[in-house]
């Protein structure tokens, strides 16, 4: 294995400080990603009332339409990122999705807004896969789950900021201004990212042969197709995200409809307890798994299984109790449990492939995750809520979210199956 050296003009290598700054900036980019994605979640009720939308239409806006475009654009962008400057791709992607978020504030009808969300999806497709690849070149294998987990906390920083900004700005100035208030700063930050972040040497921690290897997209897909552990963990992440995105996207509507919160109050509660719980769960998932996996790499997958087995039963009191304080407490605990998986799963998936396959591998993983989770989760909750109205009335959303939570339970078994096949799949990793 090559050893990293401090940054010099001759080697192009980078220091630990430069790597740390790169991880920090990538985490902020990811935060902007979720500010722009989650701002819709906190604004759903005002938009629904203003445009006269159904819950199914909300689910289509916040999930399926975004996810389909994200998936279709993700694979070719990731393949490109495995061959060219990843920093430049991320800067361009941030500019596009932030600009389209600002444009969302100008939408005059459902079609306009749908097209703007499609634009956001195209931009965001160029964010995570190149970032994952850069992080794996910033940090050695034994530190990647922690680094990936730190990066993934950007999700919850973004959620926190999106809820706070969206809640208060919307209540004072309206939902249109809220979109612009988060979109325009993202465009400006893209320039700062482009000018200050260093592109790491590709394959920094691998052999020279691995670093020089340039596989085709077909070769990458063929290699992944032979790993049972990868497909089990991909399906498991998809089902976990099914509950996370499905119920998370409708959490503001649930608290407004069933517990009488205002938009601003929801913003604060979900920022502190939803965003805070996500931060705790995401960091602990990477930090703990890196330490447990020193003895057995299967802990990268066992830990999410344990967390999932806690999340499902905790979801019942969260959604069924009428005591608002207890509901918020269980929301915090459920959110911690549902967010332990991403760092470990990204680290495992990257350990299965050579450096030049990492961005595309992340894209394939996110294809499954976003198709099942983001694409179907919010849409399923919305459809079930509309369907349950005739049976449960004002409680229809409550039982729709509960149903989706129960449907995600097979993820626990899938994580265990992935762990079972992981040692054999790691042994098959090509040496190029």
Domains of the chain: 16-199+216-427 (1.20.1250.20)
CB 162 within 8 A of CB 38: yes
pLDDT band at 208 (very low <50, low <70, confident <90, very high): low
Does the pLDDT at position 214 exceed 80?
Answer: no
Does the pLDDT at position 425 exceed 80?
Answer: yes
Does the pLDDT at position 234 exceed 90?
Answer: yes
CB 237 within 8 A of CB 345: yes
Q: How many CA atoms lie within 13 A of 23 on its CB side?
A: 23
Question: Over the chain, what is the mean pLDDT?
Answer: 85
CB 47 within 8 A of CB 53: yes
Cβ contacts of 193 within 8 Å, gap of 6 or more: 25, 28, 29, 87, 90, 91, 94
Which whole number is the average pLDDT over 74-98? Answer: 88
Task: Name the least confident of 18-27, 53-62, 328-337.
Answer: 53-62
Which whole number is the average pLDDT over 76-91? Answer: 87
42, 44, 46, 49 alpha-carbon torsion, rounded to 10° = -160
Question: Other CB atoms closer than 10 Å to residue 14's CB: what's the count?
Answer: 23
CB 67 within 8 A of CB 374: yes
Residue 224 in tokens: 């992944």
pLDDT band at 12 (very low <50, low <70, confident <90, very high): very low
What CA–CA distance (Å, rounded) separates 344 from 333?
Answer: 19
Tell me the per-residue pLDDT of 300-349, one tens digit each, with 9 for 90 and over. Answer: 999 999 999 999 999 999 999 999 999 999 999 999 999 999 889 988 99
Task: Name the least confident of 44-53, 121-130, 204-213, 416-425.
Answer: 204-213
Tell me the per-residue pLDDT of 246-285, one tens digit each, with 9 for 90 and over. Answer: 898 889 889 999 999 887 888 888 888 888 888 899 889 8
Does the pLDDT at position 87 exceed 90?
Answer: yes
How far is the first Cα of the chain from the last one, in angstroms, to the nearest whole number? 13
* Among 413, 406, 407, 386, residue whose Cα is nearest residue 397: 386
Is the pTM higher than 0.75?
no
Does the pLDDT at position 357 exceed 70?
Answer: yes
pLDDT band at 189 (very low <50, low <70, confident <90, very high): very high
Does the pLDDT at position 6 exceed 70?
Answer: no
Does the pLDDT at position 1 exceed 60?
Answer: no
What CA–CA distance (Å, rounded) separates 168 from 267?
Answer: 7
Residue 262 in tokens: 């205002």
Tell me the per-residue pLDDT of 92-126, one tens digit each, with 9 for 90 and over. Answer: 999 999 999 999 888 888 888 888 888 888 888 88
CB 233 within 8 A of CB 350: no
Which whole number is the average pLDDT over 30-45? Answer: 81
Buried b (16+ CB within 10 A) or exposed e, 146-155: bbbbbbbbbb
């Amino acid at each position: 294995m090559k050893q990293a050296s401090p940054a010099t003009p001759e080697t192009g290598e980078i220091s630990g400080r430069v790597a740390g700054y790169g991880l920090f900036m990538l985490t902020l980019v990811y935060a902007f990603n979720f500010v722009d994605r989650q701002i819709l979640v906190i604004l759903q009720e005002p938009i629904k009332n203003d445009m006269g939308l159904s819950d199914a239409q909300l689910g289509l806006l916040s999930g399926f339409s975004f996810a389909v475009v994200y998936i279709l654009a993700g694979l070719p962008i990731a393949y490109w990122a495995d061959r060219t400057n990843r920093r430049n791709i991320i800067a361009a992607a941030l500019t596009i999705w932030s600009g389209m978020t600002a444009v969302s504030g100008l939408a005059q009808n459902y079609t306009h807004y749908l097209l703007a969300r499609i634009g956001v999806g195209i931009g965001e497709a160029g964010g995570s896969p190149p970032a994952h690849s850069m992080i794996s070149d910033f940090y050695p294998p034994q530190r990647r789950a922690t680094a990936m987990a730190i990066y993934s906390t950007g999700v919850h920083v973004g959620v926190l900021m999106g809820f706070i900004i969206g809640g208060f700005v919307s209540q004072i100035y309206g939902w249109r201004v809220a979109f612009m208030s988060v979109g325009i700063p993202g465009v400006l930050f893209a320039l700062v990212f482009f000018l200050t972040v260093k592109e790491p040497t590709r394959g920094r921690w691998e052999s020279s042969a691995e670093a020089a290897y340039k596989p085709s997209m077909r070769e990458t897909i063929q290699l992944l197709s032979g790993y049972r552990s990868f497909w089990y963990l991909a399906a498991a992440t998809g089902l976990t995200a099914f509950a996370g995105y499905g119920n998370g996207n409708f959490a503001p509507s649930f608290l407004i409809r069933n517990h009488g919160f205002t938009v601003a109050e929801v913003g604060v509660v979900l920022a502190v307890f939803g965003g805070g719980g996500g931060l705790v769960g995401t960091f602990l998932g990477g930090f703990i798994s890196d330490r447990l996996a020193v003895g057995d790499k299967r802990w990268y997958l066992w830990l999410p299984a344990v967390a999932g087995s806690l999340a499902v039963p905790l979801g019942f009191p969260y959604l069924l109790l009428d005591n608002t304080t207890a509901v918020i407490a269980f929301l915090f605990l459920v959110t911690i449990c549902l967010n332990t998986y991403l760092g470990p799963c990204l680290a495992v998936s990257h350990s299965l492939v050579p450096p030049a396959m990492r961005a595309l591998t992340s894209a394939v993983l996110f294809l499954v995750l976003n198709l099942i989770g983001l694409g179907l989760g919010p849409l399923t909750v919305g459809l079930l809520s509309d369907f349950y109205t005739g049976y449960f009335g004002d409680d229809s959303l409550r039982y729709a979210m509960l149903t989706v939570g129960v449907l995600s339970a097979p993820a626990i078994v899938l994580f265990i199956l992935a762990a079972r096949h992981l040692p054999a799949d790691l042994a098959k990793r090509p040496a190029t």
